[in-house]
Structure 1
Amino acid sequence: MKNFAGLLLMGAGLVSSAAGAGTADGATAGQVAARFGALESIQQISLSPEGTKAAYITPFDDGAVLYVADLTVGGAPKAITRLLKENGRLSSCTWSTETRLICQVVFVDTHHVPMLTYTRVLALDSDGSNLLQLSSRTSTRALGVAQNGGWIIDWDLEGEPNKVLMTRDFVPENTINTRLASDAEGLGVEMVDIQSGRRRTVEKASLEANTYLSDGHGNVRIIGLHDVNGSGTLTGKLRYYYRKVGSRKWDELARLNVDGTVDEGFDPVAVDARSNSVFGFEVHDGYQGLYSVALDGSLEKRRILARTDVDVDGLVRIGRQNRVVGVSYATDRRRTEFFDPELNKLSQALHKALPGQPSIGFLDASRGETKLLLEASSDTDPGMVYLFDKASRKLEAVLPLRASLADFPLAPMKAITYPAADGTMIPAYLTLPLGSSGKNLPAIVMPHGGPSARDEWGFDWLAQFFAARGYAVLQPNYRGSSGYGAAWYKENGFKSWRTAIGDVNDAGRWLAGQGIAAQGKLAIVGWSYGGYAALQSAVLDPDLFKAIVAVAPVTDLEKLREESQGFTSSALVDKFIGHGPHVIEGSPARNAARIKAPVLMFHGDLDQNVGVAESRFMADKLRDAGKSVTYVEFKDLDHQLRSAAARTRVLSESDAFIRKNLGLK
Structure 2
Amino acid sequence: MQPSTAAPRVLTSEQAAAAFGAREQIAQISLSPDGTKVAMIQAADGARSVVTIADLVQGGTPRPVVYSSGYPDRLSDCHWVTDARLLCNIYLIANDVDKIAYTRLIAINADGSGMKVITADINDRSLGILQNGGSIIDLLPDGAPGKVLMTRTFVPEQSTGSNIRADRQGLGVELIDIDNNNRKIVEPPRADAVEYISDGHGTIRIKGTRPKTSGGYDGAKVIYTYRQPASDKWLPLSQIVLGGGGGTSFNPYAVDRDLNVAYGFASQDGREALYRVSLDGSLKRELVMARPDVDVDGLIRIGRQRRVVGASYATDRRQTEFFDPMLKKLGAALGKALPHQPLINFVDASTDENKLLMFAGSDVDPGRYYLFDNKMRSMAEILPTRPQLADVPLASVKAINFPAADGTIIPGYLTLPPGSDGKNIPAIVMPHGGPGARDEWGFDWLAQFFANRGYAVLQPNFRGSTGYGDAWFRDNGFKSWRLAISDVNDGGRWLIKQGIADPTKLGIVGWSYGGYAALQTAVLDPSLFKAIVAIAPVTDLETLRNEARHYTSFAMVDAFIGKGPHVREGSPALNAGRITAPVLMFHGTNDLNVGIGESRLMADRLKDVGKSVELVEFKNLDHQIQDSAARTTMLAKSDAFLRKAMGM
User: Which bracket does the TM-score occupy, shorter chain normalised?
Assistant: over 0.9
Asked if the contact 1:542/1:595 (under 8 Å) is kept, the reply is yes
Cα deviation per residue 1:392-445 (whole Å; 9 max; x = unaligned)?
111001010111112211010000000000011100100011111111110100
Asked if the contact 1:157/1:163 (under 8 Å) is kept, the reply is no
Asked if the contact 1:123/1:194 (under 8 Å) is kept, the reply is yes
The one of 435, 449, 473 equivalent to 2:433 is 449
Asked if the contact 2:346/2:357 (under 8 Å) is kept, the reply is yes
- Partner residue of 1:472? 456
Deviates more, 1:152-161 or 1:310-319: 152-161
- Partner residue of 1:600? 584
> Given the superposition, is the C-alpha separation of residues 87 and 475 from structure 1 closer, same or farther in structure 2, using an over 3 Å criterion?
closer
> Given the superposition, is the C-alpha separation of residues 512 and 469 from structure 1 closer, same or farther in structure 2, using an over 3 Å criterion?
same
Q: Secondary structure at the match of 2:366?
A: strand
Listed as ranges, the gaps of 5+ residues in structure 2 are: 1-5
Deviates more, 1:40-49 or 1:251-260: 251-260
> Given the superposition, is the C-alpha separation of residues 180 and 210 from structure 1 closer, same or farther in structure 2, using an over 3 Å criterion?
closer
Q: CA deviation at 1:459?
A: 0.2
- Partner residue of 2:95? 110
Rounded Cα–Cα distance in structure 1 between residues aligned with 2:163 and 2:461: 59
Q: Secondary structure at the match of 1:367?
A: coil
- Partner residue of 2:16? 32
The one of 287, 291, 295 equivalent to 2:275 is 291
Rounded Cα–Cα distance in structure 2 between residues aligned with 1:382 and 1:123: 31
Q: Does 1:246 align with 2:230?
A: yes
Q: Secondary structure at the match of 1:85?
A: coil
Q: Does 1:51 align with 2:35?
A: yes
Cα deviation per residue 1:284-331 (whole Å; 9 max; x = unaligned)?
211000000000000000000011100000001111001111100000
Q: Which amino acid aligns with 1:29?
A: S
Asked if the contact 2:141/2:351 (under 8 Å) is kept, the reply is no
Listed as ranges, the gaps of 5+ residues in structure 1 are: 1-20
- Partner residue of 1:82? 67
Rounded Cα–Cα distance in structure 1 between residues aligned with 2:51 and 2:302: 22
Rounded Cα–Cα distance in structure 1 between residues aligned with 2:319 and 2:244: 27
- Partner residue of 2:468? 484
Q: Which amino acid aligns with 1:605?
A: T
Deviates more, 1:136-145 or 1:375-384: 136-145
Q: Which amino acid aligns with 1:422?
A: D
Alignment of 1:200-599 (within 5 A): 200-599=184-583
- Partner residue of 1:65? 50
Q: Which amino acid aligns with 1:528?
A: S
- Partner residue of 2:80? 95
Q: Which amino acid aligns with 2:51?
A: L
Rounded Cα–Cα distance in structure 1 between residues aligned with 2:9 and 2:391: 9
- Partner residue of 1:617? 601
Deviates more, 1:370-379 or 1:134-143: 134-143
Asked if the contact 1:65/1:82 (under 8 Å) is kept, the reply is yes
- Partner residue of 2:3? none
Q: Which amino acid aligns with 2:312?
A: S
Asked if the contact 2:541/2:567 (under 8 Å) is kept, the reply is yes
Rounded Cα–Cα distance in structure 2 between residues aligned with 1:250 and 1:375: 39
Alignment of 1:120-159 (within 5 A): 120-156=104-140, 158-159=142-143
Equivalent pairs: percent with the same residue? 58
Q: Secondary structure at the match of 1:614?
A: helix
Q: Does 1:650 align with 2:634?
A: yes
Rounded Cα–Cα distance in structure 2 between residues aligned with 1:355 and 1:245: 44
Q: Which amino acid aligns with 1:77?
A: P
Q: Which amino acid aligns with 1:649?
A: T
Cα deviation per residue 1:207-230 (whole Å; 9 max; x = unaligned)?
010000000110000000001111
| Count of matched residue positions in the alignment of Structure 1 and Structure 2 | 645
Rounded Cα–Cα distance in structure 2 between residues aligned with 1:263 and 1:460: 33
Q: Which amino acid aligns with 1:602?
A: F
Cα deviation per residue 1:566-618 (whole Å; 9 max; x = unaligned)?
11110000000000000000000000000010000000000001000000000
Q: Which amino acid aligns with 1:505?
A: N
Q: Secondary structure at the match of 1:234?
A: coil
Asked if the contact 1:108/1:118 (under 8 Å) is kept, the reply is yes
Q: Name the TM-score, length of structure 1 as normaliser.
A: 0.95
Q: CA deviation at 1:177?
A: 5.1
Q: CA deviation at 1:182?
A: 8.0
- Partner residue of 1:185? 169
Q: Which amino acid aligns with 1:399?
A: L
Rounded Cα–Cα distance in structure 2 between residues aligned with 1:631 and 1:163: 49
Rounded Cα–Cα distance in structure 2 between residues aligned with 1:112 and 1:308: 49
Asked if the contact 2:276/2:285 (under 8 Å) is kept, the reply is yes
Q: Which amino acid aligns with 1:507?
A: G
Asked if the contact 2:72/2:94 (under 8 Å) is kept, the reply is no
Asked if the contact 1:157/1:164 (under 8 Å) is kept, the reply is no
C-alpha RMSD of the superposition: 1.7
Asked if the contact 2:95/2:620 (under 8 Å) is kept, the reply is no
Q: Name the TM-score, length of structure 2 as normaliser.
A: 0.97
Q: CA deviation at 1:260?
A: 4.2
Asked if the contact 2:297/2:467 (under 8 Å) is kept, the reply is yes
Rounded Cα–Cα distance in structure 1 between residues aligned with 2:492 and 2:429: 6
Rounded Cα–Cα distance in structure 2 between residues aligned with 1:447 and 1:122: 38
Asked if the contact 1:605/1:634 (under 8 Å) is kept, the reply is yes
- Partner residue of 1:11? none
Q: Secondary structure at the match of 1:381?
A: coil
Rounded Cα–Cα distance in structure 2 between residues aligned with 1:223 and 1:79: 38
Asked if the contact 2:398/2:414 (under 8 Å) is kept, the reply is yes
Q: CA deviation at 1:358?
A: 2.0
Q: CA deviation at 1:87?
A: 5.2
Rounded Cα–Cα distance in structure 2 between residues aligned with 1:470 and 1:180: 64
Asked if the contact 2:397/2:414 (under 8 Å) is kept, the reply is yes
Q: CA deviation at 1:473?
A: 0.5
Q: Which amino acid aligns with 1:66?
A: V
Asked if the contact 1:604/1:635 (under 8 Å) is kept, the reply is yes
